[in-house]
Structure 1
């Protein structure tokens, strides 16, 4: 008998080991195989089988990379983002969507791109960024209307309804969208979206107080969810049925539904837990089988030991049972104490959540106020700076010129103050993102020094620039934020240095392959800062002293912005200063050397911007779309001084008609106008003319949503009030580009 057992085990071991060692021929995967895996992964997400979905997505991504199928690589990231959304891991979902959208734009995969837009909208809504969420859904809706895709239009209407249901005062809008979704999805076979539709119909009826219709919709949702094995929607539907019964004061019914909901929730947990356990058991199974032969060899030797150990085991078992009994009693008491503590923690947690929501509402209100007041300040400020520019060009007397220069300085100072306050507000609200690109650091710093040279000359201060020759010609980083940091630091040194010198140096401290670290140093021999003030100097609205504030002016925001920007870039500012002897600011930043720099490739540009001049504007037809009569007159006069043939439209509707019936070389478009907005007018113009340059000339605050302007058809943006040099440069750039393409 023992010999037979040993023979069978040896045979099984040989078969398994032979199977493991036999080579498996790998054939090249087919797109249909990847598509099927992605479809299965979506179904697994619907059923909340996250371990299974993750495995399917990993496999599909591996196969797509093997054949370099970029569309399915991007789609894998989009579906992974959907899984993260269901699991409430929103930041991970956004990371995956950014990766997917980047690829989809590159390969012009419009279907995949707008699928990602819908997912982006859902995640932004979950993050309480409702306005941005609606914009992404609107982009997707426009595409699917052109495609005539009723199912996707129904899904978009359903998601818009969900957004509205977050605010109970918007329940009528939500129900309208739900009826639209119901119409579009009438013939759909998409069970998951149908069960969501009826679930949110139930939610809407419940808010309206119509419990009968809410119950009918919820039961319909439950029936579809059970048929499709959509575990998550089954759980949520039991939850809303429990709410309905609770409102009806049917405690028994509410409790029954709640128990069913908890059973489904536990089943979801067990399903994911069992998948992990199964994986571990499969790994352990082969190892256990390999050791069986060794165990049989030692079996006889261990039998004698077992007899001796059995006696000791009996004694230890009795002791263990006694100890476990005592532990059970102790755990029972501890559980009672823990239950009471949990009740107290839940109460405190609810209070903290309420406080957090109130703080977020206050922060949102502050941000909205700043955005509104900024627009209201920029509009009249545009009139001040624009009229000042016109008067300075009309040969004023010396005394008039002095007054006008003072007015120009005051306007620019006020604009700088507004921009600083907005920059600080965006930094504190974590709305500033790092945008990396390839750029010439030496040229960027030289441009900053040129911009600040007049201020330095007025203070009779010399600027000295030292740039390490070992630094590559092009680097990859965020050039805009580096310019902001240097403008604030060098501007601060100029402000507190008269009849002196300022040294700006950049040196390479270390380099590992493509990664390079640079040390920036700004040193002056000006006023200096006392030791007691050096720690507080980087706080908001802080200056060295009241006397310094009166003598030099300013708001004390520049160094605070520098500190926040460097923190965003993973660095920090260091200060060495002595009162009366000057100051030295230093910081380090990490960059990457782009491939173009390594290969010494030379990029070409379609327009040589260094050769642009205002002569190109002569006899060009430019349409100014602006509802404010004063701003309209100022922009027109500035253009006509350069021999531009200028036409004006008071609103978006008039602008569309004029572009249809006339030939223009360029359009300057305001954003906020009565009737049709500038964005809507641009969308309409692009339907029949996709070549004319359209520049947004607007007083709105442009933070991190520039991509949406370009998506809607704008070529560029000029924020008001603007510097005339920047204004003319951008106009000349697009006029020159248009001439080269004609």
Structure 2
């Protein structure tokens, strides 16, 4: 039943029924069925991308196969002995028959009995021989299956090694790319904020766009790699869905205005607003879909809709729609739209740009959220992307959002604040100090972890911005040392590494939070604002 349901696409139900079959086989000690259950569950878990559990069941299958194989070999030995005994019995019967024929040669009834006895013995002999050959065939089949399963284990191990190697390679490459990008984006923002010649504005904005584009591309590759490696998990938090979508639309309105396109929000009035779900992933999905519509819609409209399908108590099945009246997608191109680096055609890529990763990320994130996405489009008449998600309603009160705003705080109130920058790259030192200066904050710089530890011992700082990769001891080691004598000091990991893969390591080291380079100025400012507890200065 599990195998049949898996072929019909109901993988979750298939795994449930296969597990039930395994339990019944265990309880009744039907080892041949139990062995089949292990193999079936291994295949189902592999289809569900749960390779660790698939490997566990496969090993259980191989172990039980070996035990059954030994039992069958013992059975074959017994059968050989039985065949010998049967053959001996045949000879004995033949001798008895001959003696009987001599004694009762004229007795027809005895002759018939003799013939029937010989026939019976012959049939028994043929059955024994057939059983022996059948067991030989089974033994060969089991050996073949054992060999195939061993090859499967080796293939899985090779695939896991290749995946790990790819992840390490991407982590290293993105770190090396993010470090100079921090300098490029940081210097560009500084130059745009400072006095510059009017004719330079266009060039600086082009530089900023290129830096942001490259950063988006790097983040997209990391996101896809994370989804493929099944490392993307659901992180629930309470949020206002209508407000979240309105904020997303507000942030994309400038891009839409550049194409003379308007974005409209239609939120079902009968829907509650607050839900407990992964708002970050939902935001990423909508940003990619709306951004895609903006790119391919000029002088048109985009509609973002949220509707209720069904609800069961607090669980709401919602339908999200992003519709535009842009260029549309041809039927033959629609089948590949959710694949990585797919944009329909080379001409579209040249005309509209983009990486071709957005829809692949959308599809992956919706899979993580256990939803489904659909596409309806007609060339020249626009596109409709819609997906369904199950969200949990909550009546929990959402705290009022706090706005960090250093510019509204008197400079004298900030003059006593001391920030230590631990960074070995001269350009990055200068950029970070410039950003802090614009926020009216004073800072000092040290170039390695050893000096950072000594500085924190001798001077009272309000915040430490700690780089991770430095000569001498790393930022991780330096933070661990600081935590042995100072547990309260806010220490931020200012790093270019891929955060998702190192989160546990950062937590163990004792970091207060992580700021990924290159960072958005608004995010950086808010984290410092909260860490310094400046709300009281604004009476918030």
> One fold, TM greater than 0.5?
yes
The match for 1:634 is 431
* Distance of aligned partners of 1:609 and 1:333 in 2 relative to their CA distance in 1, 3 Å threshold: same
Aligned ranges 1:710-725 → 2 under 5 Å: 710-725=507-522
Supply the distance in 1 between the matched residues of 2:126 and 2:405 (Cα, whole angstroms).
89
- Say which of 518, 525, 530 aligns to 1:728: 525
CA–CA distance in 2 between the matches of 1:646 and 1:365? Answer: 39
Aligned residue runs from structure 1 range 642-653, under 5 A: 642-653=439-450
Q: Which of 365, 386, 406 is matched with 2:165 structurally?
A: 365
Q: Is the 8 A contact 1:625 1:668 kept in 2?
A: yes
Question: Does 1:523 find its partner at 2:318?
Answer: no
Q: Give the equivalent residue in structure 1 for 2:406.
A: 613
* Deviations 1:125-165 (CA, angstroms, capped at 9, x unpaired): x99xxxxxxxxxxxxxxxxxxxxxxxxxxxxxxxxxxxxxx
Pair 1:603–1:570, CA change in 2 (3 A): closer
Which of 132, 135, 139 is the aligned partner of 1:339?
Answer: 139
Does the residue aligned with 1:581 lie in a helix, a strand or coil?
coil
Query: What runs of 5+ residues in structure 2 fail to find an aligned partner?
Result: 1-22, 24-40, 46-51, 57-65, 72-119
Q: In the superposition, relative to structure 1, how do residues 655 and 324 fare at CA in structure 2: closer, same or farther (>3 Å)? A: farther
RMSD: 3.2
SS at match of 1:736: coil
Deviation, structure 1 residue 354 = 2.8
Q: How does 1:7-46 map to 2 (within 5 A)?
A: none
Q: Report the equivalent of 2:472.
A: 675
Structure 2 distance, partners of 1:444, 1:704, is: 27
Q: Distance in 1 between matches of 2:452 and 2:536?
A: 23
Q: 1:323 to 1:462 in 2, by over 3 A?
A: farther
User: Which residue number corresponds to residue 105 of structure 1?
Assistant: none
C-alpha change, 1:688 and 1:341, in structure 2 (3 Å) is same
Which residue is equivalent to 1:542?
A: 342
Q: How many angstroms apart in 1 are the aligned matches of 2:448 and 2:143?
A: 60
Q: For residues 712 and 321 of structure 1, do their structure 2 counterparts lie closer, same or farther at Cα, with a shift above 3 Å needed?
A: farther
Are residues 416 and 327 of structure 1, via their aligned partners in 2, closer, same or farther at CA, if it must alter by over 3 Å?
farther
Which is strand-richer, 1 or 2?
Answer: 2
- 2:397 corresponds to which of 602, 618, 642: 602
Rate the CA distance shift 1:692–1:346 in 2: closer, same or farther, 3 A.
same
* Counterpart mapping for 1:549-560 below 5 A: 549-560=349-360
Deviation of 1:699 (Å): 0.2
The count of residues paired between Structure 1 and Structure 2 equals 431
Task: Return 5+ residue gaps in structure 1 as ranges.
Answer: 1-50, 52-87, 93-122, 128-260, 267-319
Q: Deviations over 1:701-728 (max 9, x none)?
A: 0125534423432222111111111111
Shift of 1:327: 5.7
Shift of 1:493: 0.4
Query: Deviation per CA, 1:416-435, whole angstroms, max 9, x where unpaired?
Result: 01111111111112221222
Q: Verify: 1:503 aligned to 2:295, yes or no.
A: no
The 1-side partners of 2:397 and 2:274 are apart by: 11
Aligned to 2:500, the other structure's residue is in SS state coil
Note the C-alpha offset of 1:676.
Answer: 1.9
Deviation digits for residues 485-532 of structure 1, max 9, x if unmatched? 111100100111112111101111111112111110001111111111
2:329 and 2:398 map into 1 onto residues whose CA distance is: 45
Give the 3-state SS of the residue equivalent to 1:543 in structure 2: coil
CA distance in 2, matches of 1:552, 1:486: 19
Question: Structure 2 vs 1, CA of residues 609 and 326 (structure 1 numbering), >3 Å: closer, same or farther?
Answer: farther
How far residue 570 of structure 1 moved from its aligned partner, in angstroms, is 1.7
* CA deviation map 1:217-265 (0-9, x unaligned): xxxxxxxxxxxxxxxxxxxxxxxxxxxxxxxxxxxxxxxxxxxx99xx9
Is the 8 Å Cα contact of residues 242 and 267 (structure 2) preserved in structure 1? yes
| 1:429 counterpart residue number | 229
Equivalent-residue separation in structure 1 for 2:122 and 2:232 (angstroms): 62
* Closer/same/farther in 2, CA of residues 707 and 467 from structure 1, 3 Å limit: farther
**2:182 is equivalent to residue 385 of structure 1:** no
Q: Residue 582 of structure 1: CA displacement? A: 0.9
Of 400, 408, 430, the residue aligned with 2:200 is 400
Contact 2:466 / 2:492 at 8 angstroms: preserved in 1? yes
User: Aligned to 1:590, what secondary structure does the other structure show?
Assistant: strand
- Residue deviations 1:397-447, cap 9 Å, x none? 221011000000000000001111111111112221222222221222122
Give 1:650 shift: 0.9
Number of the residue aligned with 1:569: 369
TM-score (norm 1): 0.54
Aligned to 1:58: none
Question: For the residues of structure 2 that align with 1:677 and 1:445, how far apart are their CA atoms?
Answer: 41
**Cα pair distance change 1:440/1:322, threshold 3 Å:** farther
Question: Does the 8 A contact of 1:614 with 1:728 survive in 2?
Answer: no
Deviations 1:607-642 (A, max 9, x none): x61364344583221111111111111101111223
Q: Post-superposition shift, 1:738?
A: 8.7
Q: 1:353 to 1:395 in 2, by over 3 A?
A: same
User: Following the alignment from structure 1 to structure 2, what is the Cα–Cα distance between the partners of residues 404 and 507?
Assistant: 43
Q: Tell me which residue corresponds to 1:177.
A: none
Pair 340,724 (structure 1): closer, same or farther in 2 beyond 3 Å: same
1:265-276 matches, within 5 Å, as none
- CA pair 737-684 structure 1, distance change in 2 beyond 3 A: farther
Structure scoring higher RCO (CA < 8 A, sep ≥ 6) equals 2
- Structure-1 separation of matches of 2:450 and 2:185: 29
Q: Structure 1, residues 272-309: CA drift from partner, whole Å, max 9, x if none?
A: xxxxxxxxxxxxxxxxxxxxxxxxxxxxxxxxxxxxxx
- The match for 2:153 among 339, 342, 353 is 353
- CA 648–333 in structure 1, closer or farther in 2 if over 3 Å, else same: same
Conserved 8 A contact 1:575-1:584? yes
In the alignment, which residue of structure 2 is the partner of 1:4? none
Q: Is the 8 A contact 1:382 1:721 kept in 2?
A: yes
Q: Is 2:404–2:526's contact at 8 Å kept on the other side of the alignment?
A: no
Question: Are residue 468 (structure 1) and residue 252 (structure 2) matched?
Answer: no
Pick aligned residue for 2:220 from 420, 423, 445: 420
